[in-house]
Amino acid sequence: MAPFLSHPISLLFLLFSFLPLLSLSAVDQPYKTYIVRIDSQSKPSIFPTHYHWYTTEFTDAPQILHTYDTVFHGFSATLTSGHAATLSQHPSVLAVFEDHRQQLHTTRSPQFLGLRNQRGLWSDSDYGSDVIIGVLDTGIWPERRSFSDVNLGAIPARWKGICEVGERFSARNCNKKLIGARFFIKGHEAASGSMGPITPINETVEFKSPRDADGHGTHTASTAAGRHVFGASMEGYAAGIAKGVAPKARLAAYKVCWKNSGCFDSDILAAFDAAVKDGVDVISISIGGGDGISAPYYLDPIAIGAYGAASRGIFVSSSAGNDGPNIMSATNLAPWIVTVGAGTIDRNFPAEVVLGNGKRLSGVSLYAGLPLSGKMYPLVYPGKSGVLSASLCMENSLDPNMVKGKIVVCDRGSSARVAKGLVVKKAGGVGMILANGVSNGEGLVGDAHLIPTCALGSDEGDTVKAYVSSTSNPAATIAFKGTVIGIKPAPVVASFSGRGPNGLTPEILKPDLIAPGVNILAAWTDNVGPTGLDSDTRKTEFNILSGTSMACPHVSGAAALLKSAHPDWSPAAIRSAMMTTANTFNNLNQPMTDEATGNVSSPYDLGAGHLNLDRAMDPGLVYDITNDDYVNFLCGIGYGPRVIQVITRSPVSCLVKKTLPENLNYPSITALLPSSAKGATSKTFIRAVTNVGQPNAVYRFTIQAPKGVTVTVKPPKLVFTEALKKQSFIVTITANTRNLMPDDSGAVFGSISWSDGKHVVRTPILVTQMDPL
């Protein structure tokens, strides 16, 4: 997957002394793009529109890239740093921050979620036919069968979006399935002109239109809402019927990411603004920062845009990032965003390395070319020389005299997995064994390699290297086993999936849940082959990809089905239904494990568990959250009213006695015990649940206490009637820090479950010694 970039944004806070805005000389100051947050209520009445105000008082019209008026009030513009600093002193300016680049978090999975035709969620919701999913990504390849509108009803009357025309994209490319498409390029173009290494769009490989040159957007859109497609496969792998989670939901594509160029904050924010105005019900965004570094919520345009959407009842699903298994690597952490990690499914693409000594090693591959047919070839490990670039099979690092006619062992890392195979091929090698290092452990993903290739886990990779170094004439072959279904155990948490704890507000557990994200088959662009390499000229209607990018649209599609079946549910209620009914056991009926270690996984790895749609349809109770609750949360983490207004648009005031952030009505409970605590320490939490099941119900709790922790709950039962739909309860967590025995992640885990005999409403509990960040 694409590497993440960290997000080191600097905020130029408001200074109350107002300096007149001078026309600054830019002779020695480079222009950069800045996003300017304006207090919209302070617009002088003399100006007919905000745009007139901005271009008269703040900057010249040609400098403005986007104006924002829905999820955010303000504009983005190309400015010198001096002009930006001066702007930040204007009393109507709440914040000025620099534009930054984000990265993409690069057919049986609907069944694996518990969905079956004609029963459960698919039939109850008419497959989500009146729900609109907005996908912020690399655009869409509209001709794919996954986006057919055959037998779909009229476009929902509330839809206000457009089909934006551009290169190789006309109004005819939209239909009753793909009901809208837009592209956002101004932030990218401004960066290309002023920010050094970012190159202008190469129009020989990219389209200035909603058309998808990369493939990622087509894949995520069809995962969420692709129609049933018979005879689907990727060069014979994963053959069968392909379908998205919500096959009748409508799609709107918002192209914010450009091939090999990432996605700019200013364009992402403009897409959020447009999607909310257009009338989407769900926003799916498989984009984010990384390296475990998250910008504060008031500096993160995804968090800001998502708040503007969620506060209007729009569900926002986002990927947790691919920087696992490192702790605190999850991204997109705001509590109004549903943060999705990745798990495996019960389908795999096994391949086998057979060594000259007869040893057989299991791995995976999606190679679909001519097989090696059991023929043994000489085996070589260029890393034996001690040269790092050769061990990684980097461009121009291999000596053709050394590798010609041989199978080459390459270490994973630093360059794309499929690109290593191309390097081997150019040097005359006949095949590749791709060996994981310690950081990737046993986590494997399939790739559509250009030469015969098998990916091996770290242990098997070490076995191959030991064989090469201890044998005078090492040899090997690779056998490809096609598609195997019914793999056990599954799901397993993907080793790359972003992990907790939450690096901004550890009082809120992230990720929220996991969904299928390994070796997912979905629609693909015709612009590039399945590897995405320029030299890969193969055309394929479908491709198999892995990443939290693939997990996120599963949750977006699930939200569409739940929204269709329960139109009155808020985004928080939908998230609660998914979290409290999630699976924590695999298909062997044992606790889910972590691919990276083989150990039992914790809520830091899988959140509340793995999405189970059938149960989410009827959760019994939900934890709801209002906009005021989110404002109280922001006050509780120490944000002042003007900083909060950057996120909320409207002015707010904080209560004198602030709400503790851990008392946000979230479907998980995280107890942070002070690091200085010695001996017995207690924390109390308040939660409220709303009955969405049978009106007259009595729920009683069961506790699975974390090791060394005492958990008490009051009252002992919750009684609901026609008139009384909402009830509160208090949880007290007591631990003697001397007896606390945390695992490697530094925490202990348990749960509270409320049940009325039919429903089980499970809430994870996490206890750790940590001070609030």
- The contacts of residue 757 (CB under 8 Å, 6+ apart) are none
Provide the sign of the torsion angle of the four alpha carbons 583, 621, 615, 578, taken in this order: negative
Give CA separation, 485 vs 94, 327, 342, in Å: 55, 31, 19
For residue 649, which amino acid is it? Answer: R
Pairing between β-strand 350-355 and β-strand 475-480 as defined by DSSP bridges:
antiparallel
Residue 53, SS3? Answer: helix
What burial class does residue 513 get, using C-beta atoms within 10 Å of its C-beta: 0-12 exposed, 13-18 middle, 19+ buried? buried
Phi, psi at 380, each rounded to 5° = -135, 145
Paired residues of 454 in beta bridges? 433
The distance of Cα 629 from the centroid of its chain, to the nearest Å, equals 24
Provide the sign of the torsion angle of the four alpha carbons 44, 49, 52, 58, taken in this order: positive
Phi, psi at 401, each rounded to 5° = -65, -25
| Phi-psi region at 34: left, alpha or beta (left = phi > 0; alpha = psi -120 to 50) | beta
Give CA separation, 600 vs 536, 597, 618, in Å: 39, 8, 28
Structure tokens belonging to residue 388: 């790092």
Distance separating alpha carbons of residues 380 and 248, to the nearest angstrom: 51
The distance of Cα 178 from the centroid of its chain, to the nearest Å, equals 22
- The contacts of residue 472 (CB under 8 Å, 6+ apart) are none
Distance separating alpha carbons of residues 371 and 484, to the nearest angstrom: 18
Distance separating alpha carbons of residues 451 and 535, to the nearest angstrom: 13
Distance separating alpha carbons of residues 126 and 148, to the nearest angstrom: 17
Task: For 283-310, give the secondary structure using H, E and C.
Answer: EEECEECCCCCCCCHHHCHHHHHHHHHH
Distance separating alpha carbons of residues 708 and 256, to the nearest angstrom: 48
Paired residues of 467 in beta bridges? none
Closest CA to 283 of 274, 295, 292, 291: 274
Closest CA to 455 of 544, 358, 567: 544
Enzyme catalytic residues: 137, 216, 549
Distance separating alpha carbons of residues 81 and 734, to the nearest angstrom: 51
Q: What is residue 163's DSSP assignment?
A: B
Residue 604, SS3? Answer: helix
Tell me which residue has tokens 């206890």.
767
Q: What is residue 762's DSSP assignment?
A: E
Q: What is residue 228's DSSP assignment?
A: P
Structure tokens belonging to residue 687: 């939660």
Phi, psi at 718, each rounded to 5° = -115, 120
Distance separating alpha carbons of residues 302 and 235, to the nearest angstrom: 36
Structure tokens belonging to residue 517: 């994200």
Distance separating alpha carbons of residues 544 and 598, to the nearest angstrom: 24
Distance separating alpha carbons of residues 423 and 51, to the nearest angstrom: 52
Provide the sign of the torsion angle of the four alpha carbons 134, 140, 142, 147, taken in this order: negative
210 and 47 in contact (C-beta within 8 Å)? Answer: no
Tell me which residue has tokens 């892995």.
546
Distance separating alpha carbons of residues 100 and 264, to the nearest angstrom: 6
